[in-house]
Amino acid sequence: MDVEQLKALVRDVPDFPQPGIVFKDITPLLADEIAFSSVIDLIVVHFGRGSVDKVVGIEARGFILASPVAYHFGAGFVPVRKKDKLPWETESEEYELEYGTATLEVHRDGVDPGERVLIVDDVLATGGTARATARLVERIGGKVIGIAFLIELGFLKGRQQLDGYDLFTLISY
């Protein structure tokens, strides 16, 4: 399945969750057995088996993609979640949203020192979420070897927030 076929399975939902946002709904792609497995394969092939110790998924849609990626790498899965969702000792990172701020957390023992980490999320928009996640991973001793997104909204210039990281994105707008 090529990128144009994958793109055809992403649904634009205008004014969700608020006016002016065009939400990229990936549920039709996830529900297509060929598309879902192709996306996972493309991410794993790009970075290569043996290159990753832990895969970090960002709540919530990032979990859906990061878990099968971790399985195919033979790597562990580590969740990054919104504030106060994780039960154990955490590190927190606050970051700017268009209006206000948000906080992401990871368990302090989620990654062993020096482990190679791939971060996975569904959409790269302004880049704040991924940057906060990369900082969390580094703070607990991980080495971020790459960040993979299913979708990049290029016009929001999120890449500029992620300078120095190896980014892999499948579908661009």
Listed residue (73, 39, 68, 63) closest to 168, CA to CA: 39
| Structure-block tokens of residue 52 | 């990753």
98 catalytic, yes or no? yes
Q: How many of the chain's residues bind ligand AMP (CB under 6 A)?
A: 16
Single out the residue of 57, 68, 146, 158 in contact with ligand AMP (rule: CB under 6 A): 158
Site pattern 93..122 for ligand AMP (x: CB under 6 A): ----------------------------xx
Q: What is the CA radius of gyration of the chain?
A: 15
Segment 61 to 80, residues that bind ligand AMP, using CB under 6 A: 61
Catalytic one among 4, 98, 108, 152? Answer: 98
Give the active site residue among 61, 81, 116, 131. Answer: 61
Compute the C-alpha angle 129/135/137, nearest 5°: 105
Cβ atoms of 160 and 126 closer than 8 Å = no
Beta carbon nearer to ligand AMP, 24 or 81: 24
- Give the residue from 167, 159, 104 showing the smallest Cα distance to 137: 104
Strands, E assignment, the chain: 11-14, 22-25, 54-58, 76-82, 90-96, 101-107, 116-124, 143-152, 167-172
Minimum distance from residue 173 beta carbon to ligand AMP (Å): 9
Q: Are 41 and 19 in contact (CB under 8 A)?
A: no
Q: Is the CB of 115 or the CB of 122 nearer to ligand AMP?
A: 122
* Residue 48 vs 101, nearer CB to ligand AMP: 101
**Chosen residue from 7, 8, 23, 135 binding ligand AMP by CB under 6 A:** 23
Q: Which of 79, 127, 142, 146 binds ligand AMP (CB under 6 A)?
A: 127
- Tokens representing 44 are 């794993």
Residue closer to ligand AMP (CB basis): 15 or 109: 15
The contact set with ligand AMP (CB under 6 A) reads 21-24, 58, 61, 121-129, 158
